[in-house]
Amino acid sequence: AGPCDIYASGGTPCIAAHSTTRALYNAYSGSLYQVKRGSDGATTNIAPLSAGGVANAAAQDNFCTNTTCLITIIYDQSGRGNHLTQAPPGGFNGPEANGYDNLAGAIGAPVTLNGQKAYGVFVSPGTGYRNNAVSGSATGDAAEGMYAVLDGTHYNGACCFDYGNAETNSLDTGNGHMEAIYFGDNTVWGSGSGSGPWIMADLENGLFSGANPKNNAADPSVSYRFLTALIKGGANKWAIKGGNAASGSLSTYYDGARPSVSGYNPMSKEGAIILGIGGDNSNGAQGTFYEGVMTTGYPSDATENSVQANIVAARYATTSLTSGPALTVGSSISFRATTAGYTDRYLAHTGATVNTQVVSSSSATTLKQQASWTVRTGLGNSACVSFESKDTAGSYIRHYDFGLQLAANDGSKQFKEDATFCPLAGLNGQGNSIRAWGYPTRYIRHYGNVGYAASNSGVHTFDSATSFNDDVSWVISTSFA
Tell me whether residue 145 or residue 206 sits nearer to ligand AHR (CB atom). 206
| Residues of this chain, 46-65, that bind ligand AHR according to CB under 6 A | none
Ranges of beta strands (E only) in 220-351 are: 227-234, 237-244, 251-256, 272-275, 287-295, 316-318, 332-337, 345-350
Q: Does 284 bind ligand AHR (CB under 6 A)?
A: no
How far CA 122 is from CA of 161, 195, 241, 350, in Å, comes to 11, 23, 23, 33
| Residues of this chain, 342-371, that bind ligand AHR according to CB under 6 A | 342
Closest approach of ligand AHR to the CB of residue 162, in Å: 6
Closest approach of ligand AHR to the CB of residue 204, in Å: 5
d(CA 109, CA 102): 16
**SS3 assignment, position 6:** helix
Residue 336 · residue 343 · CB < 8 Å? yes
DSSP state of 463: G
Residue in 22, 336, 368, 399 binding ligand AHR, rule: CB under 6 A: 399
Cα four-point dihedral sign 25, 286, 109, 435: positive
How far CA 60 is from CA of 348, 442, 451, in Å, comes to 34, 18, 29
Residue in 68, 77, 168, 205 binding ligand AHR, rule: CB under 6 A: 205
| Residues of this chain, 4-23, that bind ligand AHR according to CB under 6 A | none
Residue in 347, 418, 432, 472 binding ligand AHR, rule: CB under 6 A: 418
Q: Does 323 bind ligand AHR (CB under 6 A)?
A: no
Tell me whether residue 308 or residue 334 sits nearer to ligand AHR (CB atom). 334
How far CA 55 is from CA of 66, 106, 332, 383, 450, in Å, comes to 21, 13, 39, 23, 39
Tell me which H or E stretch contains 310.
helix 301-313
Active site residues: 204, 280
Q: Does 410 bind ligand AHR (CB under 6 A)?
A: no
* Per-residue contact string for residues 163-202; x = within reach of ligand AHR by CB under 6 A: ---------x-----------------------------x
Tell me whether residue 18 or residue 442 sits nearer to ligand AHR (CB atom). 442
Piece in contact with ligand AHR (CB under 6 A), picked from 49-57, 139-147, 223-231, 399-407? 399-407
Q: Does 402 bind ligand AHR (CB under 6 A)?
A: yes
DSSP states along 244-263: ETTSS--EEEEEEPPPSSTT
d(CA 291, CA 23): 9
Q: Which amino acid is at 447?
A: Y
Q: Does 401 bind ligand AHR (CB under 6 A)?
A: yes
Nearest-5° angle of CA 194, CA 111, CA 417? 50
Piece in contact with ligand AHR (CB under 6 A), picked from 42-50, 103-111, 217-225, 279-287? 279-287
Tell me whether residue 298 or residue 447 sits nearer to ligand AHR (CB atom). 447
Residues that bind ligand AHR (CB under 6 A): 159-160, 172, 202, 204-207, 278-280, 282, 339, 342, 399-402, 414, 418, 446-449, 453, 464, 467, 471
